[in-house]
């Protein structure tokens, strides 16, 4: 895998660019391991690849959950801010 330079822009509001990139990378790895597993007929390697797929799939779920939490938190904050703006008007 090639080394990539990842830097946080610290400008995210209702999402996280770093988590979106991590989600993309993890999803790519799941697909990669699935392709390997389809081609492999050696039982021990096949089982190991299955474990890797399960592990990476769990990571995808955790990242998705965090992205959903960030989005929900931003929506709540927008609602709070807009309620103050309406009260001032």
Per-residue pLDDT tens for 64-73?
Answer: 999 999 888 8
Distance CA 86, CA 48 (A): 57
Domain housing 39:
17-88
Distance CA 19, CA 42 (A): 34
Closest CA to 49 of 19, 7, 16, 41: 41
Distance CA 17, CA 70 (A): 11
Q: Which two tokens stand for residue 60?
A: 């995808």
- Would residue 34 count as lying in a domain? yes
- Would residue 5 count as lying in a domain? no
pLDDT above 70: percentage of residues in the chain: 90
What's the pLDDT band for 38 if we cut at 50, 70, 90? very high
pTM: 0.79
Check pLDDT > 70 for residue 4: no
- Would residue 3 count as lying in a domain? no
Q: What is the total count of domains within the chain?
A: 1
- Would residue 68 count as lying in a domain? yes
Distance CA 4, CA 27 (A): 17
Tell me the per-residue pLDDT of 40-66, one tens digit each, with 9 for 90 and over: 999 999 999 999 999 999 999 999 999
């Amino acid at each position: 895998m090639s080394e990539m330079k990842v830097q946080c822009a610290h400008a995210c509001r209702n999402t996280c660019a770093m988590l979106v990139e991590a989600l993309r990378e993890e999803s790519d790895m799941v697909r990669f391991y699935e392709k390997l597993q389809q081609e492999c007929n050696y039982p021990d390697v096949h089982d190991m690849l299955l474990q890797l797929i399960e592990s990476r799939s769990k990571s995808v779920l955790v990242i998705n959950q965090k992205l959903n939490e960030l989005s929900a938190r931003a929506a709540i904050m927008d609602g709070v801010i807009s309620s103050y703006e309406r009260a001032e008007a």
